[in-house]
Structure 1
Amino acid sequence: MPRAPNWPEEPAWRAGQFHTDPIPEGLNVSPRFPHLAFLGAQADLFDDAFRELPARPVSHVDGDPLLLRSLGLPTYTGDGQREAVRALLHLPPNETLIANLPTGSGKSLLAHLPPLLNPEGMLTLAIVPTVALALDQARRMQVLLRERFPHRAIPPLAYHAGLSQEERASIRGAIRTGDQPILFTSPESAIGSLRTWLEHAAAEGRLSHVVVDEAHLVTGWGNGFRPVFQLLPALVHSLRQHAADRPLRVVLASATLSAGTLFALRQLFGPPQSTYLVAAVHLRSEPRYAFQFSPSASDQRELILEAIRFAPRPFILYVTRPDEATTWLAHLREAGYARVAAFTGRTPSSERDQLLRAWAANKLDGMVATSAFGLGVDKNDVRTVLHATLPESLDRFYQEVGRGGRDGRASASLLVHTAQDIDQAKGMASEKLLRDDTAFERWTLMITHARPADGDDVYWVDLNRLPSHLVVNSEQSSLWNVRTLTLMARAGLIELVALRDGAGNGDETPVDLALASEAAVRILDANHRNPDAFSQRLAQARDAMLRTAEQGIRVMRHVARRDIEISQALTQTYSVIQGIWSPVVTCCGGCATHWDDRRTTGLYPPPHAGRLRRFATRDTGRIRHLGLPMASPRLLVVAVPDDGQFLTTCERLANHLASVVRPHAWLMEPSLKTRFGQRLRQLLRPLPRDDSFIDIVDARAPDAWTAGSDEVRVIFLDRVRPASFPQELWHSEAALDIVIVSKSLGDPDHEGRYFIDTTPYVASATFLERISS
């Protein structure tokens, strides 16, 4: 560029975020990614997001035959998805599976697989937090079902408020007749208009799975924005009662389970000993974090507007209160931004649907939002998440930051807060709770005038009942009655079963607390009318809630002040080591501490998920009735000649065992993987009832041969390796281990002798003759 009149001077080019290099003729000017000078060393916060830098390491593992058969997928996304799917298929039906897996690990597979594997007439219920997610999952499921069952008629798979009465009736009819393979719906619909139909399906043994997505909402938003999530444990309890001894598997899926949330879920859907956790958690490697304190609201506004001016699109600007969202939307409109909107808990349902469609179609560059926006809005390409507030907990902050970079590419996170934001967060963290005497008065009034409902110790209470000192009813009074019930539920005095409007004829459970005027409660403690016992239980619940809230704001403040590095704080928040083991693999995509090293701190080793420890029973009677010599009550050894037909004979054995025994697992060492593993997969792949998995076992691992209780396994030992029989198999907890060995396998206790010289066994030819007769 020339140095001449009417041409910008060098400072103007620099102010416009250009590189400049003086040369004799003038200036060499080149564009660069815009920087935020107020962030100092992190001024280039947006660079990686602009580049869409890949930020999520890939760690696929070999898939099982059923995965290829039902979905055409050759691999799992990692250990976590693999073990969650195996638990989904093989965990005893009276247990609850909790899948704690990070974003991008394929948790949706836990809802997609059952209808692809189930026979006709079986129903999978998938409860999701938003209509947008229900519709998106339904579209994906339609494709999968058509590919798997090209000649089967597929009904609508999403049930939501936008359907006509005729469409809703059609879906309810399909549930009744057994023509609904899977249904994606909200908790409001599941507990409201669908409940009777779901209970009927469970009673007839046609409800196979209940999958709850974003299960942390049961203990999180259930206190306010989505109270109906607190009713899901009661729904599951009712469905299990109706199912009686028929199998009904329950899955709770989430990407962020803190210790407190995990403890609560195990209690609510337990008992705890009947829950099983699959956890393979790593921190998000996509966000680049920056935190800035602002001395005033006006300064905060200028910094946020400067950031939005340069931020990679699409962006989300999070605030705490709906009125703040309205104010910020006005600021953006005044600044000239037209492709922006606001989404809060007060946004009407019809407007929400329009906003979500515009957001998904890239008709909006930015969204100003409260926590009401995000969950279930699975937009993969959000590049920037800004906070003009201080969230009341690190958990909320991490959830909202998690809206960015879901495609595995870098995103930017900027939080700018003021002293007023700190005060607001403290107020939310220490939310006003009812005094014992006030809560007891409200409860006594409600239960005294309650009406019995269907079910043991279940009553309908009127949320509009007024204490004696109040004359005029109000929405606020009803909310305090709901808070009374919520606190009592936390204290274990009652269980919330349902909410409805006063007339009892609403089609759905209300989303908004203000619309609920009746609640169904189950009495759990006979001392609920005793003031002393009531106060003691409430005090314990209140103290626990306050401690959790105070800890949340304390950690969030330390992170915002950079007293604690964020990946360290997140690891502490989401690691669970007491009572149940759920570690977190730490990484940091970039923060003030790791800014220069973010290319390496953003890497992480693949998280490991432990092998399933409890299995649904299999019928082993046919094998045991063959009268074969057993090496131990749970161990059958089949010896194969050590000749050129070893692998062919193993294949013949596997073919019969797959149909007669239906083992849970096939195990082999790495030396057999290339020579026999693929042949076994090809053999199992076309079998419609096969849900087994294949493990390649590292014999050097301490628990290499450890079995789960009631597991049925077929184990192939190589002709040469191992040189001796694994000692762990003598003490296996499996229901049955069928071990296929070569006749030349060495005896570990008698040098120079073969294993079959000292151990009861059956020759492969004899076994094949007996099992095929």
Structure 2
Amino acid sequence: MDENTLVKQVEEYLNKRREDLTVDVDIDYSSQDRFKMRTIKRLKYIFDLYEKHHKFYNDFLIALRDFLLVFRTSIHLDEIVISPNNAFSINKDEYSGKYFASYQLPAYVNETFVKQVYLEGYHASRLIDKGYDLLTDPLVYSITGFSKFKTMNQKLAVYGALNTPDGYTTLVSLPTGGGKSLITQTLAYQSTGLTVAIVPTVSLALDQVRVAKEIIHTQNADEEIFHYSSGVEASPIINAIKNKTARLLFISPEALIKNQRFADAIKTANQQRYLKNIIIDEAHIVVDWGASFRVDYQCLESWRRKLMMTNPGLRTLLLSATYERSCIDILKDFFATDDKWIEIRCDALRHEPRYMLIKAKSFTDKKRKMLELVEKLPHPMIVYVTRPSDAEDIKSYLSENGINNIRTFTGLTSSTKREQLIDEWVNDQFEIMIATSAFGVGVDKSDVRTVLHMYIPQNPNAYYQELGRGGRDKLPCLSVMCICPEDTTITFNRINKKVLTTEKIIGRWDSMYNSPLSIRIGNYTNINTSIKPKYNVVDEFDDAPVSDTDMNWNIYVLLLLRRYNMISIMEVLPQNDNYIFVVSINDDLLRTNDSVLQQKIESVRTQEWDYYNEAFKQIKKAISQSGKSCWSEMFYETYDKVSEFCAGCDAHDEAIEGDFYEFSLKRPVTQPVKQLAMDQLALFGPAYEMVVYADEKQRVSLIEELQKKRLSVLITESDLKLNEGTSASHSGNSLLVIDCSELRDLMSKSCYYYVSGLVAIVYSGEEGDVYNQLKMVRQYLSNKSFIRLIHIIKENVYFESLNKVFTDLIDGPVMPINVICSKEGGQYV
């Protein structure tokens, strides 16, 4: 990318000496180059808008400022006159006649951080994989063509998912930008069948489909990989499912639950065992959003349970970047069947955000500061607020100050409007989004440079999820919180309203359970969630239409009772704009309305309140200690599997990189281990290990034969070419290729989930190297009932210090290579 040529072309376009300006952001640029190209794209779009409507003059200056600072350049403008006293620090060099931008930031803004976001003086944080072997195996290579993983995190996440046994649920955490989509792609093509990937937004579904079709090696992508949303013709997808040609479907929970045609098609595919995997992307949304405006996420528990009754081998994958402690417990309660639960935890704090807390003296001062921040900080920018009314107020205030190319996105935004806004946002048609928490999760806009919070979130998790919309391209971004003294009280009052009183919980439950609209069939009760409570007090529900208030609070009560196992939710039935919850009562106290029930509900309510209150105290503590203690400590305390990391905050400009040397896997994965089959055991007879002599030319053929016998792990220090040119077609079995350092790190956490079954070790190097490899393998893997070892060595090495040869140290037979590679195979000799 020739930046000088680009700047010249932009200058010509703005001066109307060039008819068009082609900006291609889809080319495989680096993150920095893609951000720069999108900066040009936004400038072109707003310039064209300004040419038609001069009310967009200030919006044009915002985009021009970003362009000048990102490219660190200056340009002539022939017809556009910019006042020397403009709010955007765009100045004219009287000598050259060119316009340039300077930072001229308010004193309360950290200029070092802003410069880093504009890529000035920016150096990527030190990421280390300790020289790990990132080679893929024939399975991953045949599906995607990838010969290497991006990181050790991705390698462990992908193989952790691929190894999921039938009927199990695997929860995977992988940092944003870590290549999580590869999990979905490889799972879908691991074996013949259908994988349903549940995603939160249309834009994410579209992007996932596009990437999958580019990456997956198949001749029939258009007949195998689909997404569904409103406006998409359903018939081709339904037919592909019926004809068993569909392999991967991206769909929202709403479409999955409410569209009867899809419900029937997937039910049939499941009965025929054609449905293999359910993947829930951004799985924390099930907890965070499911209890409010995305109720269908909570429907997934009962939907999946019904499928499992017919198809107990169905696998479930839950994917996200980070999980709060309580979120893990709820997801496990929802989706683990008979404790068939696996956690692959590669959690890590984001490396991109630079944190700033700005304290205003009053609400008026806060509005003034907000305007300065919108004018001077890098874009694209998300401004987060508490309520829909706040979003509209800020939009009006910015409009009064000449900034008009902005949008609002709240819980009151209609579904159709949401899709339109997300498309416009992703396609760079505006730079400032004012939003409540209803916006952001799963929206695939990678280059958001500033996330500005104009309120105090209720807890660090909610805050972290929102600020995490920035810097998804792995480049620096700003997380700025601008607050005034009254904001603490406002947030506390919102928490007060978030947990109903004991009387109201009982009142709503009693009104629903004893209503004539709630039909009882055997042990089940069909709860109609539209029922109004018997008390007359109006309950407010944040960021949601007033018409949905009673339904939302009723659902809140049902989910509260479900979380504390007082009821089971057997099924959720959408009914127009309402939901029928089919429940069974686990605690007979709910059939009464006496003092004992009140005591029980009061206990439940107290636990809920304590959770919200303690979480709010964490964020209050961070605010009170800002400048003294690291801002990201609240996230370190919230997410129990992360290491310390902070790219910079009010307490320090330099990065704290506590995760620099840590192993990617943050939690032991000891179970389940692979079960050895009779044909595998027959190779060894009564022994646990064997030796096979093979030179460099024979090793690849030997390993291909062992793969046919479902070899699960290959330990090697040599660069074996197992992928390119291999003739062995994969059978759905993955092969984890690791070196001794990876083995040591995995075994330090007893991760036999990864290292079990048939394990081969290829020895190389001098006598001392071979002995050290053998010593490590014997230390960790010998005499395990769930492991059989195949030692592959060129010759019978003599260890002078021991006065023994290699085979003297092996308690098993020496097998001729022709026996392993023979057509019959499996004959013990």
* Alignment TM-score, normalising by the size of structure 2: 0.78
Which residue of structure 1 aligns with residue 226 of structure 2? 157
* Cα deviation, residue 469, structure 1: 5.4
Amino acid of the residue matched to residue 735 of structure 2? S
Q: How much has 1:26 moved relative to structure 2?
A: 11
Counterpart in the other structure of 2:317: 251
Task: Note the alpha carbon deviations across 1:663-684, whole angstroms, 9 max, x for none.
Answer: 111112x2xx14xx23577547
Residue 211 (structure 1) shift: 0.8
Residue equivalent to 1:511: none
**Which one of the candidate residues 192, 207, 210 is aligned to 2:275?**
207
Q: Which residue is 1:664 aligned to? A: 712
Q: 1:108 is matched by which residue type in structure 2?
A: S
| Paired amino acid for 1:378 | D
Identity across the alignment (%): 24
Q: Cα gap change, 1:138/1:766 in structure 2, threshold over 3 Å: closer, same or farther?
A: closer
Match of 1:637 among 678, 690, 694: 690
Taking a change above 3 Å as real, the CA distance of residues 155 and 279 of structure 1, as seen in their structure-2 partners, is closer
The match for 1:544 is 607
Distance in 1 (CA, whole Å) between partners of 2:240 and 2:254 is 19
* Cα distance per residue 1:48-85 (max 9 Å; x no partner): 11227454555575131233322122322222211111
CA distance in 1, matches of 2:746, 2:326: 31
The whole-number CA distance in structure 2 between the counterparts of 1:447 and 1:499 is 16
Provide the residue aligned with 2:247 in structure 1.
Answer: 181
Deviations 1:733-768 (A, max 9, x none): 534333334552468997435534873303324633
**Aligned runs of 1:366-445 on 2, under 5 Å?**
366-445=432-511
Contact 1:343 1:373 (C-alpha < 8 Å) held by counterparts: yes
2:633 to 536, 555, 568: 568
1:318·1:388 contact (CA, 8 Å) conserved in 2?
yes
Which moved further from structure 2: 678-687 or 126-135? 678-687
Does structure 1 conserve the Cα–Cα contact (< 8 Å) formed by 2:528 and 2:581? yes
**Cα–Cα, structure 1 residues 496 and 759, in superposed 2: closer, same or farther, change >3 Å?**
closer
What are the within-5 Å matches in structure 2 for residues 18-29 of structure 1?
Answer: none
Do 1:102 and 1:283's aligned partners in 2 also have CA atoms closer than 8 Å? yes
- Work out whether residues 292 and 560 of structure 1, in 8 Å CA contact, stay in contact via their aligned partners in 2: no
Distance (whole Å) between structure 1 residues aligned to residue 821 and residue 480 of structure 2? 70
Q: 1:559 aligns with which of 610, 622, 630?
A: 622
**Paired residue type of 2:621:** H
1:633-677 Cα distance to aligned partner (Å, 9 max, x none)? xx130242xxxx623343342232121x11111112x2xx14xx2
Aligned CA distance change for structure 1 residues 178 and 541 (closer, same or farther; 3 Å): farther
Counterpart of 1:703 in structure 2 is 747
**Deviates further, 397-406 or 680-689:** 680-689
Q: Tell me, yes or no, if the aligned pair for 2:573 and 2:580 is still in contact at 8 Å.
A: yes
- Equivalent-residue separation in structure 2 for 1:361 and 1:55 (angstroms): 27
Contact 1:614 1:710 in 2 (8 A): no
Q: Could you tell me how far 1:517 is from its partner in structure 2?
A: 5.0
2:558 pairs, out of 480, 485, 505, with 485
User: Gaps (5+ residues) in structure 1?
Assistant: 1-11, 507-514, 576-581
Judge conservation of contact 2:380–2:450 (CA < 8 Å) in 1. yes
Match of 2:45 in 1: none
Alignment-derived partner of residue 171 in structure 2: 98
- Aligned pair count reads 714
Unaligned residue ranges in structure 2 (runs of 5+):
1-83, 539-545
Cα-to-partner distance string for 1:432-462 (whole Å, 9 max, x where unaligned): 5344454334434433443357xx9543222
Q: Please, what TM-score do these two structures have when normalized by structure 1?
A: 0.83
1:523 to partner: Cα distance: 3.4
Q: Distance in 2 between matches of 1:17 and 1:592?
A: 24
C-alpha contact 1:191 1:498 (8 A) present in aligned 2: no
3-state SS in 2 of match to 1:70:
helix
Q: Hey, what's the Cα distance between the residues in 2 that align with 1:131 and 1:680?
A: 35
Match of 2:6 in 1: none
Which residue number in structure 1 is paired with residue 56 of structure 2?
A: none
Counterpart in 2 of 1:34? 103
Q: How far 1:417 sits from its partner (Å)? A: 0.8
Quick one: which amino acid aligns to residue 737 of structure 2? Answer: I
Deviations 1:340-377 (A, max 9, x none): 11111111122222211211111102111111111111
Counterpart residue number, 2:678: 621
Aligned-partner Cα distance in 1 for 2:781–2:658: 41
Give 1:586 deviation, angstroms: 1.9
Q: State whether residues 637 and 739 of structure 1, in contact with CA within 8 Å, keep that contact through their aligned partners in structure 2.
A: yes
1:260-312 Cα deviation digits (max 9, x unpaired):
21222222222694322112222222111111121221111100001111122
Q: How far, CA to CA, are the matches of 1:353 and 1:469 in structure 2?
A: 38
Q: Which of residues 140, 143, 153 in structure 2 aligns to 1:80?
A: 153
Aligned residue for 2:645, secondary structure, equals coil
Q: 1:680 to 1:126 in 2, by over 3 A?
A: closer
Show the counterpart of 1:579: none
Q: SS where residue 690 of structure 2 aligns?
A: strand
One-letter amino acid matched to 1:154:
E
Match of residue 732 from structure 1: 784
Aligned to 1:326, which of 392, 395, 404? 392
Q: Does 2:613 align with 1:585?
A: no
Query: Does the 8 Å CA contact 1:91/1:614 hold for their aligned counterparts?
Result: no
Aligned to 2:664: 608
Match of 1:236 among 282, 298, 304: 304
RMSD: 3.6
Distance 1:229 1:623, change over 3 A: closer
**3-state DSSP class of the match of 1:278?**
strand
**Residue 187 of structure 2: aligned partner:** 114
Question: Could you list the per-position Cα deviations for residues 115-170 of structure 1 after superposition, in whole angstroms to 9, with x for gaps in the alignment?
Answer: 23332xx111111111221222122223345xx2215652661122233xxx2244
